[in-house]
Amino acid sequence: MKLVRLGAVNYLNVRPLVFGLERRHDLVSLRFDPPAECARLLANGEIDLGMVPSITYLDRPGDGIVPGVCIGSDGAVDSVALFLRRPIREVRTLAVDTSSRTSVMLTRILCTRRFEIAPTFVPHPPDLPAMLAKADGALLIGDPALFADHRGLGVEKIDLGLEWTTMTGLPFVWAFWAGPLDSVSPDVVGVLQEAAEQGHVHIDTIAAAYASDPERQAMARRYLRESLVFRLTPRAADGLRAYFTAARELGLATGVPTLRFFPSEGERE
């Protein structure tokens, strides 16, 4: 049987979704990359299924989604945030992490609809002190945002997951498994769903393996247990559609794709 090539983002938040997959070398292979690179690999056919940023679906609306599994938040997410040297209404420039188009588009939506500002966006590698030296604020995602000592830097942290849910009343879906509809069998879909279930059970093990010191381990456990949701429920899917709709209404996307799901005998919602 041909191995299904999986690509996942190289952040802590994906680890519960790939728990135990290294033991399923009969069905899948797995690699880790930044979000934008994961999307590129999928577009080039170098992987069959990717844990891709949500914005990728706008480029590939015919893809299938693994049902019941995502990286999402319903309130504060802690790992996607603006770090500001001045009050949000006074921000004129934002240095934005070049590794996530999804978060950049969400920032544009929130700047227009919630913060009522129109800053200049300056692409920049994820280096918070360097970003803040060049702009009024910085957009960071993933582990750099989660573990950033914003208080030590004397800056404000605005959580974009919290801002989205406060504005819409809906969860935000950051990433999910997606790929061509003929790329995976129901067996593989079931393996991915089971990995997500087992990962949720083994949060302590995942945090201990990922972080080296006790303080970061505690942060990782809290983050995985309290900040993230890993089930793509109907309400979460509504949040994803609301994101696509807002992007279209602001001229950031051309349409709102229909969400298509892979068939699975063990679909969970």
Q: Pairing between strand 49-53 and 172-179? A: antiparallel
Per DSSP, the three-state class of 67 is coil
Q: What is the pLDDT of residue 268?
A: 42
Domain boundaries defined on the chain: 4-72+171-249, 80-168
Retrieve residue 245's tokens: 């709709």
Provide mean pLDDT across the span 13-26: 92
Radius of gyration of the chain (CA): 18
Buried b (16+ CB within 10 A) or exposed e, 15-24: bbbbbebeeb
pLDDT at 264 over 80: no
pLDDT at 46 over 70: yes
Look up tokens 């709709």; give the residue: 245
Q: What is the pLDDT of residue 130?
A: 95
User: What's the pLDDT band for 98 if we cut at 50, 70, 90?
Assistant: confident
Cα–Cα dist 141/83, whole Å: 11
Topology at the third CATH level for domain 80-168: D-Maltodextrin-Binding Protein; domain 2 (3.40.190)
Q: Name which of 57, 58, 54 is nearest 103 in CA terms.
A: 54
Topology at the third CATH level for domain 4-72+171-249: D-Maltodextrin-Binding Protein; domain 2 (3.40.190)
User: What's the pLDDT band for 10 if we cut at 50, 70, 90?
Assistant: confident
Q: What is the pLDDT of residue 114?
A: 98
Give tens-digit pLDDT for 137-181: 999 998 899 999 999 999 999 999 999 999 999 999 999 999 999
pTM of the model: 0.93
Q: What is the pLDDT of residue 267?
A: 46
Q: Name which of 65, 57, 55, 56 is nearest 192 in CA terms.
A: 65
Give tens-digit pLDDT for 77-96: 999 999 999 999 999 999 99
Q: Pairing between strand 137-141 and 80-84? A: antiparallel
pLDDT at 48 over 90: yes
Identical fold at 4-72+171-249 and 80-168?
Answer: yes
Cα–Cα dist 262/192, whole Å: 12
Give the number of other CB atoms < 10 A from CB of residue 265. Answer: 9
Q: Name which of 159, 210, 198 is nearest 69 in CA terms.
A: 198
